[in-house]
C-alpha cells in the first residue's frame, strides 16, 4: 500500500514525486510511456516565465512567480541547465506599448522583481539585432531559459533514489475506490494507494473522471516550433516575445540552454491529446511572425521542427490544483499549460500542502540525497576531464560528433536511477543526437551501445516511445558474416 | 608537444590519398587521424561497385577502393591514429585531439589537410510536415545499418530525394527483399548520376517522381504512411495532386553538407555556395598551411575525383612544409573565379597564376539541365575560350582545364565561367 500515487511523470508529476520523497512516505509514480518527460515536458519553449502574464490573484500568477524564484536554486542543486537570460516583450506601436504597461502593472501586482519598460534605444542596446520597427519593450531580468526534460529527469531520478517507486509503461486503465484506499490498474500493475495525485497532463480529465465527477475537459492546444543550429544560437541573448494581442502570447525567439535558437510556438487546436504533428501552415506562421521581431532569423539553419500540446481546460483559464470536491484523497494538478514548467517547483509544494490539508501526514526525512545530473565531459574542467578519463577511458571516445558527447557520457547516464531504454531517452539525458546531424551518425552507435549495455537485441531497441521500432530483422546475409569480418 | 610535417584529419578516401601523396612528395612525419575504428570512411559501407573506373580503370567496391589506399599508406611511414577525434585546430596549426588510449593531447603540424568529408541533410533541415515517428532515416544511416551492421530498416520504403546514396539504397533494399515504392524528388531533375537512375531505379521498376515532395508523414510510433504531392515552379505543393503511400520507412537523400565545424572554429573562410573552405589552386584554405580536399571542400559524385583532388592537396601540404611556397603570401597576383550564368560554384575559388606549371583544373556544377551546350570562359567582357559540351546536369560535376597562358590574359584579376544552351 502506497501513501501517495502520482499519475503522470512529466515535469509536474516528477516535481510532486520529488517533493513528496523528502518526507517519510511511500510514493508511487505511474507513467504510461517507457520513460519520464515524454509529453508536454519535452516539447515546449524551454523557458521560465518571469510571471507578468497571469491575471493577478490567480493560482497561476502566484505559482509562476514562486516557481520562477525557486528555479535557479533547484537547478543548481540538481545540476540542470538553467540561465537567467531575461526576457523582452517588444512593442511595435502605441497600442502595443499600452499592453506592455498593463503587463508591467500585472507583473508588479504578481510580485515580479526588477520588471521595467525600456525605450527603443535601450532595447536595441541590449538586443541590437531586433527589428528597428520596435518602439519599446518590457524587460524582465528574472526570466530564464532551462532544460525542461533535464529538470523532469533530475527530479524523477532523485525521487526514485529516495525511495519512490516508478512504474513505466503503465497506462492507467481503471481506478476503484476500495473504501479508505484506491486500487489502480496500470498496465500490468495493480497499485493500492491511500492518496492519488492526478498529474496526467493532456489526459488529466480522463483520470479525474475515473474517480470524480467530470468538471473540466482538456482541449489540447498545439504549438509548433523550429530549432535552429548552434550557429544561430547567439542571434539574441534574451527571450524575445511580441506584445500579446490578436495572435495570443505570440511567437518567441530565444536562445536555448543547449546553445541553439528556438522559434515558436503557434497556438492551434490539436486533434487530440497526443497530436504533435507539425503542419506546413503552422511552420510558415512561425517563420513569418518571428521575422517581424528579428529579420535575421536564418531558417535555413533549421535542424528540427516539433510540436507540443498544452493541457488547456475548457471551463477555466487558471490551473486546476485542488483536492477533489467529491472523491476523497484525490488531488488534481490539472490544466497545467504555460507557465506550467515555470511553476512546477511551486506546484509541487502546493500539492503537498493540499495533501496535508486532507489528512496526509508529512514528516521530513533525516536523509535526502539529490541525484545531480551527470556533468557532460565537454563541460568538465581540465582537472575533471583528466580524472574522468582515468576512471573511464571511454570518455575519450566521441560518439556524437555534433555535440561532442563521449561514450563515457552515455555509459554514465545508462547507470542512472532511471536508465534510458530508447535512443531518444539517451538524447534527453546527455544530448547525444541533439545536434545538427540529428543522430544521423551517432544514432546507430548509440543503438549499439544501448543494445550491448542493456543486453537487449538490437531489434528491440526503440527510437523513442514503445513500438517506435527501428529495425525489422536481419539482412539476408545476417549478422554472422558481419561478425566474422 | 609532438611535431609532425603533415597532419591529415580523416582517413576516408580524401585523407588516405592526401597522406600517401604527401609522403611521395617528401613529407616524412605524417599523422592521419580518424574518428572511426578503421580507415576508409564512408567507402566502408558502400559495398556496391562502380568505384575506381577513372583512377584504377576497373570497377571496385567501396571497401576495395579504400583498401588499395590503405595498403599504399601502409607502405609509407605515416602514422594512422584510429578511434581519435580532432577537437580543435588553431590558426598556427596546432591540432588537439582525443581518444580512449591517450586522452586529450595536442600536436604541432607543419601543414594540415582537412579531409573530414560531409554529412547528410536531415528532416529538420527541410521541414516535412506530419508526425515524428521512427522509421525516418537518412539513406546513409540505412546503408550503415544494412551493409555494416547487418540489419534491415524496414519493409515498405519511400525515398525522398534523388541523391546517389538514395538511389543506391533503393536497389540495395530491393535486393534485400524490401518493397521500394517510389523515389520522390522536389526538383524537376534527378540529383544523382544518370547511371544510378538506370541501374538502381529503372532496372527494378521503381518509379521516380520529379517535381514531387512529401507533404505529410503519418504514424504515431512508427511511420504508417506518407502523402506525396506534385509541386509547382516555385516548389509549392499543388492541391489535388496528393498520392498516398502505405509505407513503414522513409529514407532521405536530400543533399550532403561538407562537415566544416573544425574549419569554422579555426577561422577558415567558408564559401556559402559549397559550404566548404574557399581554396586556392593548390587546395590551400584562407589559413596558410591548411589545405582541404574531398567532400569537406565540395560534395563530389565520384571518389576518383576525390582522390585526384586530395593528391593535389597532399602534395601541396608537403611542399608547404619544405617552406618552398612561403614568402610571397598576399603579394602574389591572384585571379578570382567568378560564377557566370547557371554556374553554381567553382573549386578552386582563387588561382595564383605564378604557381601554375602548365594548367589548372577548375571544378564546378551547373544549376540546371542542358542538352547541347557550351562553357564560356571570359574575362573583362572578353571571351578567352569556349568549351563545347553535350548534356550537362546539376547532378554531374563538370570541370575544365585552363592553360597557363590563358590565365595571363585575365583582365582585372577575374575569370568568369558561364554555361549556355547551343542551338543544334
Model confidence band, residue A485 (pLDDT cutoffs 50, 70, 90): very low
Residues of chain B positioned with their CB less than 8 A from the CB of A471: 145, 151-153
CB neighbours of residue A11 within 10 Å? 35
Contacts of A231 in chain B (CB under 8 A): 264
Percent of chain A with pLDDT over 70: 98
What is the reported pLDDT for B416? 97
Closest-approach residue (CA) in chain B for A457: B151
Instruction: Identify the residue whose cell numbers are 602534395.
Output: B315
A275 to chain B: closest CA residue: B131
- Three-state SS sequence of B217-263: EECCCECCEEEEEEECCCCCECCCCCEEECCCEEEECCCEEECCHHH
Which residues of chain B form CATH 2.60.40? 351-421
Instruction: For domain B122-254, say whether CATH 3.50.50.60 is its number.
Output: yes
Of A407, A474, A480, nearest to B151 by CB-CB distance is A474
* B222: nearest CB among A404, A467, A479: A467
CA angle B251, B256, B262 (to 5 degrees): 130
For A472, the closest of B119, B148, B154 (CB atoms) is B154
Q: Does B215 touch chain A (CB under 8 A)?
A: yes
CA B67 – CA B230 distance, rounded (Å): 43
Closest Cβ opposite residue B132 in set A279, A280, A306:
A306
Start-end ranges of CATH 3.50.50.60 in chain B?
Answer: 2-119+257-326, 122-254
The domain defined by B351-421 folds into Immunoglobulin-like (2.60.40)
The cell numbers describing B86, all together, are: 580532432
Asked if the C-beta of B261 comes within 8 angstroms of chain A's C-beta atoms, the answer is yes
Q: Which of A49, A238, A258, A447 is catalytic?
A: A49
Task: For cell 479525474, name the residue.
Answer: A208
HSE (CB half, 13 Å, CA atoms) of A371? 25
B342: left (phi over 0), alpha (psi -120 to 50) or beta: left
| Mean of all residue pLDDT scores within chain A | 96
pLDDT greater than 60 at residue B327:
no
Mean pLDDT score, A19-41: 98
Residue A481 confidence (pLDDT) above 90: no
d(CA A257, CA A240): 15
* Run of H or E residues at A146: strand A144-146
How far is the alpha carbon of A41 from chain B, nearest alpha carbon, in Å? 16
Partner-chain contact B222 A227, CB within 8 Å: no
Better-scored residue on pLDDT, B411 or B377: B377
Inspect the interface and report whether the beta carbons of B101 and A396 lie closer than 8 Å: yes
Burial A39-62 (b: 16+ CB within 10 A, else e): bbbbbbbbbbbbbbbbeeeebbbb
Contact indicator for A249, A338 with CB cutoff of 8 Å: yes
User: pLDDT value at position A480?
Assistant: 55
Question: Closest chain A residue to B127 measured between Cα atoms?
Answer: A305
Chain B residues lying within 8 Å of A443, measured CB to CB: 137, 141
Residue among A283, A228, A289, A287 nearest A254 (CA): A228
Over residues B361-366, the mean pLDDT reads 97
> In the 8-state DSSP scheme, what is residue A364?
B
Q: Which residues from chain A sit within 8 angstroms of residue B125, using beta carbons?
A: 302-303
* Rounded Cα gap, residues B375 and B364, in angstroms: 11
**Which residues in chain B are contacts of A381 at CB distance < 8 A?**
none
ipTM of the complex: 0.94
Instruction: Tell me the pLDDT of chain B averaged across its residues.
Output: 95
Query: Tens of pLDDT along A108-124?
Result: 999 999 999 999 999 99
Q: CB of B176 within 8 Å of any CB in chain A?
A: yes
Angle formed at CA B34 by CA B4 and CA B12, multiple of 5 degrees? 105
Contact B100 A397 (CB under 8 A): yes
Can you tell me the mean pLDDT for B68-95? Answer: 96
Q: Which residues between 230 and 249 in chain B have a beta carbon less than 8 angstroms from any beta carbon of chain A? A: 237, 248
The burial class, CB within 10 Å (0-12 / 13-18 / 19+), for A348 is buried
pLDDT digits (tens, 9 = 90+) for B135-169: 999 999 999 999 999 999 999 999 999 999 999 99
Please write the tens of the pLDDT for every residue from A294-345.
Answer: 999 999 999 999 999 999 999 889 999 999 999 999 999 999 999 999 999 9
What fold does the segment set B2-119+257-326 form as a domain?
FAD/NAD(P)-binding domain (3.50.50)
Question: How far, in Å, CA of B257 to CA of B296, rounded?
Answer: 8
Chain A residue nearest residue B214, CA to CA: A280
Query: In chain B, which residues have their Cβ closer than 8 Å to the Cβ of A434?
Result: none
Nearest to A464 among B101, B134, B177 (CB): B134
Q: B256 pairs with which residues across the strands?
A: B120
Which of B45, B141, B156, B213 to substitute to test the interface with A, most A CBs within 10 Å?
B141
A-B contacts at Cβ under 8 angstroms? 140
Task: Give the distance from residue A477's alpha carbon to the nearest chain B alpha carbon, in angstroms.
Answer: 7
- Tell me which residue of A444, A395, A441, A397 sits closest to B117, measured CA to CA: A441
Output the pTM of the full model: 0.95
Chain B residues within an 8 Å CB radius of A387: none
Which residues, 6 or more positions from B10, have their beta carbon under 8 angstroms from its beta carbon?
Answer: B32, B33, B34, B35, B41, B114, B115, B116, B117, B294, B296
Cα–Cα dist B259/B119, whole Å? 6
The residue whose grid cell reads 536511477 is A417
Segment A238-246 shows an average pLDDT of 89
Q: Which helix (H) or strand (E) holds A207?
A: helix A204-211
Residue A407 in this model has a pLDDT that exceeds 80: yes
- A438 contacts in chain B (CB < 8 Å): 122-124
Phi, psi (deg, nearest 5) at residue B209 = -100, 105
Give dist(CA A228, CA A222) in Å, integer: 20
Using the predicted structure, report yes or no on whether residue B235 has a pLDDT greater than 70: yes
Question: Is there a contact between B130 and A459 if contact means CB atoms under 8 Å apart?
Answer: no
Give me the mean pLDDT over the B83-108 stretch: 96
Contact at CB, A396 and B146, closer than 8 angstroms: no
CA-nearest residue to B105 within chain A is A396
Min distance A192 CA to chain B CA atoms (Å) = 31
Q: What torsion, rounded to 10 degrees, do the Cα atoms A162, A163, A168, A172 define?
A: -120
Q: Quick count: other Cβ atoms within 10 Å of Cβ A69? A: 18
Q: Given B100, B148, B150, which is nearest A474 (Cβ)? A: B150
Residues of B in contact with A305 (CB under 8 A): 124, 127
CA distance B106 to chain A (A): 14
Contact state of B222 with A443 under an 8 Å Cβ cutoff: no
The minimum CA-CA distance between B331 and chain A, rounded to whole Å, is: 33
Span B91-107, average pLDDT: 96
Q: How far is the CA of B56 from the CAs of A256, B24, B61, B194, in angstroms?
A: 50, 18, 12, 21
C-alpha cell at A103: 503587463
Backbone dihedral angles phi then psi of residue B180, each to the nearest 5 degrees: -95, 115
pLDDT band per the 50, 70, 90 thresholds, residue B324: low
- Please give the radius of gyration of chain A, using alpha carbons only, rounded to the nearest integer: 23
Q: Give the one of A227, A396, A458 whose C-beta lies nearest to B100's C-beta.
A: A396
pLDDT tens digits along A171-181: 999 999 999 99
Catalytic, A49? Answer yes
B134 touches chain A (CB under 8 A): yes
Three-state SS sequence of chain A:
CEEEEEECCCHHHHHHHHHHCCECCCEEEECCCCCCCCCHHHCCCCEECCCCCCCCCCHHHHHHHHHHHHHHHHHHHHCCCEECCCEEEEECCHHHHHHHHHHHHHHHHHCCCCCEEEEHHHHHHHCCCCCCCCCEEEEECCCEEECHHHHHHHHHHHHHHCCCEEECCCCEEEEEECCCCEEEEECCEEEEEEEEEECCHHHHHHHHHHHCCCCCCECCEEEEEEEECHHHCCCCCCEEEECCECCECCCEEEECCCCCEEEECCCEECCCCCCCCECHHHHHHHHHHHHHHCCCCCHHHEEEEEEEEECCECCCCCCEEEECCCCCCEEEEECCCCCHHHHHHHHHHHHHHHHHHCCCCCCECCCCCCCCCCCCHHHCCHHHHHHHHHHCHHHHCEEECCCCEEHHHHHHHHCCCCCCCEHHHHHHHHCCCCCCCCCCCHHHHHHHHHHHHHCCCHHHCECCCCCCECCCEECCCHHHHHHHC
Residues in chain B, overall count? 424
State mean pLDDT over A414-427.
98
- Which residue matches cell numbers 510540436? A307
In the predicted structure, residue B328 carries a pLDDT above the cut 70: no
Report the Cα A373 to chain-centroid distance in Å: 15
Cell numbers at residue B203, please?
Answer: 532496372
The band of A484, judged by pLDDT with boundaries at 50, 70 and 90, is very low
Query: B220–A463: do the CB atoms touch at under 8 Å?
Result: no
Q: Is the dihedral of CA B62, B67, B73, B78 positive or negative?
A: positive
Cα–Cα nearest to A295, from A87, A129, A119, A91: A129
pLDDT of B330: 61
**pLDDT over 70 for what percent of chain B?**
98
Q: Could you count the other beta carbons within 10 Å of the beta carbon of residue B313?
A: 31
Q: CB–CB of A472 and B125 under 8 A?
A: no
How many other C-beta atoms can be found within 10 angstroms of the C-beta atom of residue B44? 18
| B177 interaction partners in chain A (CB closer than 8 Å) | 476
Decide if A463 and B134 are in contact by the 8 Å CB cutoff. Answer: yes
pLDDT at B238 over 70: yes
| pLDDT tier for residue A263 given thresholds of 50, 70 and 90 | very high
Per the CB < 8 Å rule, is A276 touching B221? Answer: no
Average pLDDT over residues B174-203: 95
How far apart CA A93 and CA A88 sit, in angstroms, is 15
Q: Exposure string (b/e) for A119-156, b if CB count within 10 Å is 16 or more?
A: ebeebbeebebbeeebebbbbbbbbbbbbbbbbbbbbb
Query: Is B130 at the interface with chain A, CB within 8 A?
Result: yes
| Phi/psi at A433 (5° precision) | 95, 5
Non-local CB neighbours of B221 within 8 Å, separated by 6+ positions = A464, A465, A466, A467, A468, A469, B133, B134
Write the Ramachandran bin of B170: left for phi over 0, alpha for psi from -120 to 50, otherwise beta.
alpha
User: Grid coordinates 516511445 are at which residue?
Assistant: A465
Give how far B10 is from chain A: nearest CA, Å: 13
Interface test with A, best of B125, B174, B224 (most A CBs within 10 A): B125
Taking CA–CA distances from B264, the nearest residue in chain A reads: A231
In chain B, residues 98-127 whose CB comes closer than 8 Å to chain A: 98-104, 119-120, 122-125, 127
Amino acid at each position: 500500500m502506497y501513501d501517495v500515487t502520482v499519475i503522470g511523470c512529466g515535469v509536474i508529476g516528477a516535481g510532486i514525486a520529488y517533493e513528496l520523497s523528502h518526507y517519510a512516505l511511500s510514493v508511487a509514480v505511474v507513467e504510461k510511456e517507457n520513460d519520464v518527460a515524454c509529453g508536454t515536458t519535452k516539447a515546449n519553449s524551454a523557458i521560465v516565465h518571469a510571471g507578468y502574464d497571469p491575471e493577478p490573484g490567480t493560482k497561476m500568477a502566484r505559482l509562476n512567480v514562486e516557481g520562477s524564484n525557486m528555479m535557479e536554486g533547484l537547478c543548481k542543486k540538481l545540476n540542470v541547465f538553467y540561465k537567467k537570460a531575461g526576457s523582452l516583450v517588444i512593442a511595435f506601436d502605441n497600442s502595443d506599448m499600452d499592453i506592455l504597461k498593463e503587463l508591467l502593472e500585472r507583473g508588479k501586482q504578481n510580485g515580479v522583481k526588477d520588471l521595467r519598460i525600456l525605450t527603443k534605444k535601450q532595447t536595441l542596446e541590449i538586443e541590437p539585432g531586433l527589428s528597428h520597427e520596435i518602439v519599446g519593450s518590457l524587460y524582465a531580468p528574472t526570466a530564464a531559459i532551462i532544460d525542461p526534460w533535464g529538470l523532469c529527469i533530475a527530479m524523477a531520478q532523485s525521487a526514485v533514489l529516495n525511495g519512490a517507486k516508478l512504474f513505466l509503461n503503465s497506462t492507467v486503465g481503471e481506478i476503484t475506490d476500495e473504501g479508505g484506499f484506491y486500487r489502480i490498474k496500470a498496465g500490468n500493475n495493480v497499485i493500492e494507494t491511500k492518496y492519488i495525485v492526478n498529474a496526467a497532463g493532456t489526459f488529466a480529465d480522463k483520470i479525474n473522471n475515473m474517480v470524480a465527477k467530470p468538471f473540466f475537459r482538456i482541449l489540447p492546444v498545439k504549438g509548433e516550433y523550429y530549432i535552429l543550429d548552434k550557429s544561430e544560437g547567439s542571434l539574441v541573448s534574451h527571450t524575445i516575445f511580441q506584445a500579446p494581442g490578436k495572435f495570443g502570447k505570440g511567437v518567441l525567439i530565444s536562445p536555448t540552454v543547449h546553445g541553439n535558437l528556438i522559434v515558436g510556438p503557434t497556438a492551434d487546436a490539436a486533434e487530440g491529446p497526443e497530436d504533435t504533428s507539425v503542419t506546413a501552415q503552422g511552420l510558415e506562421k512561425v517563420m513569418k511572425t518571428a521575422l517581424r521581431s528579428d529579420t535575421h532569423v536564418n531558417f535555413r539553419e533549421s535542424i528540427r521542427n516539433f510540436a507540443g500540446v498544452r493541457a488547456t481546460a475548457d471551463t477555466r483559464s487558471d490551473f486546476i490544483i485542488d483536492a477533489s470536491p467529491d472523491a476523497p484523497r484525490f488531488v488534481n494538478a490539472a490544466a497545467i499549460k504555460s507557465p506550467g514548467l515555470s511553476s512546477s517547483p511551486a506546484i509541487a509544494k502546493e500539492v503537498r500542502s493540499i495533501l496535508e490539508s486532507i489528512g496526509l501526514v508529512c514528516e521530513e526525512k533525516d536523509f535526502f540525497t539529490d541525484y545531480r545530473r551527470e556533468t557532460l565531459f565537454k563541460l568538465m574542467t581540465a582537472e575533471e576531464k583528466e580524472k574522468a578519463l582515468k576512471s573511464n577511458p571511454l570518455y575519450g571516445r566521441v560518439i556524437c560528433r555534433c555535440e561532442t558527447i563521449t561514450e563515457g557520457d552515455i555509459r554514465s547516464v545508462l547507470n542512472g536511477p532511471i536508465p534510458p531504454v530508447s535512443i531518444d531517452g539517451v538524447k534527453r539525458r546527455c544530448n547525444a543526437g541533439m545536434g545538427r546531424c540529428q543522430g544521423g551518425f551517432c544514432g546507430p552507435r548509440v543503438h549499439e551501445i544501448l543494445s550491448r549495455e542493456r543486453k537487449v537485441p538490437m531489434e528491440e531497441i526503440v527510437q523513442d516511445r514503445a513500438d517506435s521500432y527501428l529495425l525489422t530483422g536481419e539482412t539476408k546475409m545476417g549478422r554472422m558474416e558481419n561478425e566474422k569480418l | 608537444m609532438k611535431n609532425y610535417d603533415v597532419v591529415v584529419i580523416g582517413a576516408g578516401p580524401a585523407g588516405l590519398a592526401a597522406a600517401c601523396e604527401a609522403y611521395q612528395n617528401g613529407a616524412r612525419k605524417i599523422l592521419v587521424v580518424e574518428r572511426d575504428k578503421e580507415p576508409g570512411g564512408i567507402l566502408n559501407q558502400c559495398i556496391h561497385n562502380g568505384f575506381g573506373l577513372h583512377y584504377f580503370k576497373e570497377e571496385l567496391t567501396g571497401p576495395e577502393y579504400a583498401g588499395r589506399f590503405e595498403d599504399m599508406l601502409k607502405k609509407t611511414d605515416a602514422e594512422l591514429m584510429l578511434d581519435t577525434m580532432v577537437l580543435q585546430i588553431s590558426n598556427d596549426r596546432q591540432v588537439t585531439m582525443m581518444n580512449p588510449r591517450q586522452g586529450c593531447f595536442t600536436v604541432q603540424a607543419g601543414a594540415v589537410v582537412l579531409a573530414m568529408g560531409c554529412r547528410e541533410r536531415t528532416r529538420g533541415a527541410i521541414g516535412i510536415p506530419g508526425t515524428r515517428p521512427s522509421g525516418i532515416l537518412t539513406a546513409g544511416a540505412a546503408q550503415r545499418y544494412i551493409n555494416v551492421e547487418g540489419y534491415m530498416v524496414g519493409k515498405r520504403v519511400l525515398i525522398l530525394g534523388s541523391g546517389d546514396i538514395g538511389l543506391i539504397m533503393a536497389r540495395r533494399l530491393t535486393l534485400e527483399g524490401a518493397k521500394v515504392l517510389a523515389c520522390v524528388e522536389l526538383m524537376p531533375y534527378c540529383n544523382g548520376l544518370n547511371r544510378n537512375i538506370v541501374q538502381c531505379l529503372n532496372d527494378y521498376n521503381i518509379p521516380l517522381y520529379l517535381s514531387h515532395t512529401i507533404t505529410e508523414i503519418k504514424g504515431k510510433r512508427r511511420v504508417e504512411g506518407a502523402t506525396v504531392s506534385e509541386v509547382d515552379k516555385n516548389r509549392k505543393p499543388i492541391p489535388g495532386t496528393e498520392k498516398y503511400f502505405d509505407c513503414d520507412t522513409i529514407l532521405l537523400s536530400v543533399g550532403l553538407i561538407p562537415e566544416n565545424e573544425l574549419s569554422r572554429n579555426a577561422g577558415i573562410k567558408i564559401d556559402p555556395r559549397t559550404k566548404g573552405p574557399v581554396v586556392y589552386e593548390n587546395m590551400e584554405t584562407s589559413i596558410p598551411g591548411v589545405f582541404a580536399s574531398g567532400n569537406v571542400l565540395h560534395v563530389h559524385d565520384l571518389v576518383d575525383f576525390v582522390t585526384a583532388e586530395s593528391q593535389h592537396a597532399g602534395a601541396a601540404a608537403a611542399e608547404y612544409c619544405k617552406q618552398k611556397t612561403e614568402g610571397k603570401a598576399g603579394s602574389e597576383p591572384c585571379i578570382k573565379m567568378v560564377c557566370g550564368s547557371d554556374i553554381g560554384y567553382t573549386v578552386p575559388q582563387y588561382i595564383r597564376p605564378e604557381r601554375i606549371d602548365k594548367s589548372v583544373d577548375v571544378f564546378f556544377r551547373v544549376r540546371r539541365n542542358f542538352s547541347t551546350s557550351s562553357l564560356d570562359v571570359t574575362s573583362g567582357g572578353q571571351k578567352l575560350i569556349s568549351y563545347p559540351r553535350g548534356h550537362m546536369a546539376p547532378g554531374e560535376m563538370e570541370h575544365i582545364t585552363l592553360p597557363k597562358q590563358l590565365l595571363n590574359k585575365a583582365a582585372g584579376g577575374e575569370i568568369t565561367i558561364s554555361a549556355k544552351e547551343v542551338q543544334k
